[in-house]
Homo-oligomer: A and B are copies of this chain.
Amino acid sequence: MARCRTKGGKRMKQMKISEAVVRRLPIYLQFLNELNKREVQTVSSQDLGQRLDLNPAQIRKDLAYFGEFGRKGIGYDVVYLIEKIRQILKLNQTLHVALVGAGNLGHALCNYNMYMNDNMKIMAVFDALPSKIGTHINSLTVRPMQDLKQLVDEHNIRIGIITVPAVEAQNVANQLVEAGVEGILNFAPVILKVPEEVRIHHADFTRELLSLAYYLDYEGEESL
């Protein structure tokens, strides 16, 4: 659902952008924000590539999918490129988020409250445990699951974050889908099934940890 330009500059919708490209955009944005904070005005694909361990040609190509953001002989204007990437990722509208699971991890995420992402806002927190309901996390009151649909509608919530234990995650996902969210970020260590029109991303750190383990050097050389 990206918009690109034909040679003539006319806009052309729907030119399939690969997932790999989309996943790099937040990385670019993160580093560009750092550069901006350091008041760096301009950056080349060379510089970016060096810092991010990516091929400069790849970076140029990634950005070129969405428009001509750079200047030949000069590089990219940091502020301008930040603005453009924010547009691509639709970060100029504030995205409303519901968080389900007021446990430790849920608390952590609320505290973050996307402090660096002014563009995403947790609007409501839910939990199934009666003991949790009514308690406060920052300025939010933990709500029972029955209120989910109503609050999703009311606050125009488009994303759900799942921070419940693994056994409940699928059930919660179903309820989020039912309530009408368009995307889910799942922290529980299980594979969830959702209708294909709902986008699901996994933030399951156990996966990261396990794949990390693979890359550790052998110590006690063992055979399979």
Q: Which residues in A have some Cβ–Cβ distance to B below 8 Å?
A: 1, 3, 11, 22-23, 25-27, 29-31, 34, 51-52, 66-67, 84, 87-91, 93, 95, 103-105, 107-109, 111, 114, 116-117, 120, 158-159, 166, 182-183, 185, 187, 189-191, 193, 199, 201-203, 205-218, 220, 222-224
CA distance A199 to B201 in the complex (A): 23
**In the bound complex, do residue B185 and residue A205 qualify as a contact, i.e. CB atoms below 8 Å apart?**
yes
Whole-angstrom CA separation of A190 from B174 in the bound complex = 33
Contact of A183 among B89, B182, B203, B215 (CB under 8 A): B215
- Which chain B residue has the least Cβ–Cβ distance from A196? B53
The reply to whether A216 and B158 contact each other, CB–CB distance below 8 Å, is yes
Number of copies: 2
Note all chain B residues with C-beta closer than 8 A to A1.
215, 217-218
For A193, the chain B residues whose CB sits under 8 A away are: 51
Question: Nearest Cβ in chain B — how far from A30, in angstroms?
Answer: 6
- B103 contacts A108, CB within 8 Å? yes
Residues of B within 8 A of A220 (CB): 93
A85 CB, min distance to chain B CBs, angstroms: 9
Q: In the complex, what residue of chain B is closest to A206 when comparing beta carbons? A: B117
A26-B210, A183-B212 known; 4 new pairs, CB 8 Å cut-off, are A3-B224, A27-B191, A88-B224, A199-B216
Residue contact B159 to A212, C-beta cutoff 8 Å? yes
Please determine whether A104 and B108 come into contact, CB atoms closer than 8 angstroms. yes
Whether A212 and B185, one on each chain, are in contact in the complex, defined by CB atoms closer than 8 angstroms, is yes
Could you say which residues of chain B place their CB within 8 Å of the CB of A224? Answer: 3, 11, 66-67, 84, 87-88
Residue in B105, B109, B201, B223 whose beta carbon sits within 8 Å of that of A212 in the complex: B201
